[in-house]
Amino acid sequence: MARLTPFHALFDERIHRIDVHHHYFTPDLDKEKSNAAVGWKTPAANVPWSSEISLQAMHDMNVDFAILSFPALASGSVDELNRATARRRNEYASEICQKHANKFAFLVTLPFLNDIEGAVHEIQYGMDSLTAYGVSISSCYGEGPAATYIGDERYYPIWAELDKRRAVVFLHGSQVPSSTPYPSPFLGLPITEVPNETFKAAAHLVVTGHRRRFPNVKIILAHLGGNVPFLSARVALLSNYMGCTLTPDEILDDFKTFYYETALSASELSLTAMEKFVQHDHILFGTDFPGKRLFATTQKDLTCLQRSPRV
Ligand SMILES: [Zn+2]
What residues contact 74, with CB distance under 8 A and at least 6 apart? 138, 139, 140, 141, 142, 143, 147, 174, 175, 176
Residue 263, pLDDT > 60, answer yes
pTM across the whole model: 0.89
Amino acid at 220: I
The mean of the pLDDT values for the chain is 86
Neighbours of ion ligand 1 (CB under 5 A): 288
Amino acid at 272: T
- Tell me what the mean pLDDT of segment 283-302 comes to: 69
89 alpha carbon – ligand 1 mean position (Å):
16
Listed range (31-45, 231-245, 285-299) with the worst mean pLDDT:
285-299
Q: How far apart are CA 203 and CA 171, in angstroms?
A: 12
DSSP tag of 289: B
85 alpha carbon – ligand 1 mean position (Å):
19
34 alpha carbon – ligand 1 mean position (Å):
14
40 alpha carbon – ligand 1 mean position (Å):
12
137 alpha carbon – ligand 1 mean position (Å):
11
Q: How far apart are CA 70 and CA 293, in angstroms?
A: 18
Ordered by where they begin, the domains of the chain are: 17-305 (3.20.20.140)
31 alpha carbon – ligand 1 mean position (Å):
13
The b-or-e profile of 84-98 (16+ CB within 10 A means b, else e) is ebbbebbebbbebbe
pLDDT interval class at 4 (50, 70, 90): very low
Largest Cα separation within the chain, whole Å, is 60
What residues contact 243, with CB distance under 8 A and at least 6 apart? none
Residue 5, pLDDT > 70, answer no
What residues contact 72, with CB distance under 8 A and at least 6 apart? 136, 137, 138, 139, 172, 173, 174, 175
Contact indicator for 147, 105 with CB cutoff of 8 Å: no
